[in-house]
Structure 1
Amino acid sequence: MVVETCTLDLEAEAHRGIVNITRKIQEFVSESGMKSGIAVIFNIGSTGAITTMEYEPGLMKDIPRVLERMAPGEDRYEHHLTWGDDNGSAHVKAAMLGPSLTVPFTGGKLSLGTWQQIVVINFDTRARRRRVVVQIMGE
């Protein structure tokens, strides 16, 4: 088994900036020469998340809107009292989706559905540079 790691640095807008990283992950898998294995994608930081979605304008509005209902930005968060921050809801939303994703690949191609893309979502109250670690393991 071979293991390779790369790091992606991405610019993400404040309040639900969504960045499609599918192509970058696929390029990394292709360049590795591995035919079968898994890709682990991990967001460094507690106000961003990794997930899959259909990367289209409607869902890019729907997903943040639904998450905002679940953890409204204007609610009272103990986190604000602890650190004097204003991004408690960002931490909650990121925790709900999670910081990582594992995607298998076969024949050197990510095993994703036709309309399924890998995305990084920034929930912070300010634009952020997101660092994502990608590790592939396979043969």
Structure 2
Amino acid sequence: MAVRTEEIQVATRGNNHVIDITDEVARAVSRCGLRDGVVTAFHVGSTGGLTTTEFEPGLAEHDIEAAFEKIAPADGRYVHEQTWHDDNGHSHVRASLLGPSLSVPFVAGRLTLGTWQQIILIDFDTRARTRTVICQIIGE
């Protein structure tokens, strides 16, 4: 078994920006030179997260944000904001619910994603940032 680590940088707009990072993760797997194994993608930070979905405008630009708005409304009352005098309590709650990491098997050097399944990063914070995703690739 071998372990390789790759880092991906992603520029975001914040405010529920959904970004398809499938190609970047696939390139990381390709660069590692391993044929079969698993890649774990980990978002560094507490106001963003990773998952899979069908990346299309209805989901990416509306439905995901609408769902999280019901669960953790942006205009809700968050003790975090009172503590730190900021405006992103909902961002932390949303990211905690989504989670920071995702594992995807790869076979013959290719991610085993479904036809309509992409890896997405969601930046819940209230401002633009550069996000880091660590890809830990284990295989042979």
TM-score of the pair, normalised by structure 2: 0.97
List per-residue Cα deviations over 1:9-53 (Å, max 9, x = no partner): 111112111111101111111222211100000001000001111
User: What are the ranges of 5 or more consecutive residues in structure 1 without an aligned counterpart?
Assistant: none
Provide the residue aligned with 2:54 in structure 1: 54
Instruction: Return the alpha-carbon distance in structure 2 between the equivalents of residues 14 and 107 of structure 1.
Output: 35
User: What are the ranges of 5 or more consecutive residues in structure 2 without an aligned counterpart?
Assistant: none
Instruction: Return the alpha-carbon distance in structure 2 between the equivalents of residues 116 and 128 of structure 1.
Output: 25
Secondary structure in 1 matching 2:6: strand
Instruction: Return the alpha-carbon distance in structure 2 between the equivalents of residues 66 and 103 of structure 1.
Output: 25
What is the total number of aligned residue pairs between the two structures? 139
- Percent identity, aligned pairs only, is 49
Instruction: Return the alpha-carbon distance in structure 2 between the equivalents of residues 28 and 8 of structure 1.
Output: 8
Secondary structure in 2 matching 1:125: coil
Task: Name the amino acid aligned to 1:57.
Answer: P
TM-score of the pair, normalised by structure 1: 0.97
Tell me how large the CA RMSD over aligned residues is.
0.8
Instruction: Return the alpha-carbon distance in structure 2 between the equivalents of residues 85 and 28 of structure 1.
Output: 35
Provide the residue aligned with 2:44 in structure 1: 44
> Shift in Å at residue 76 of structure 1?
0.4
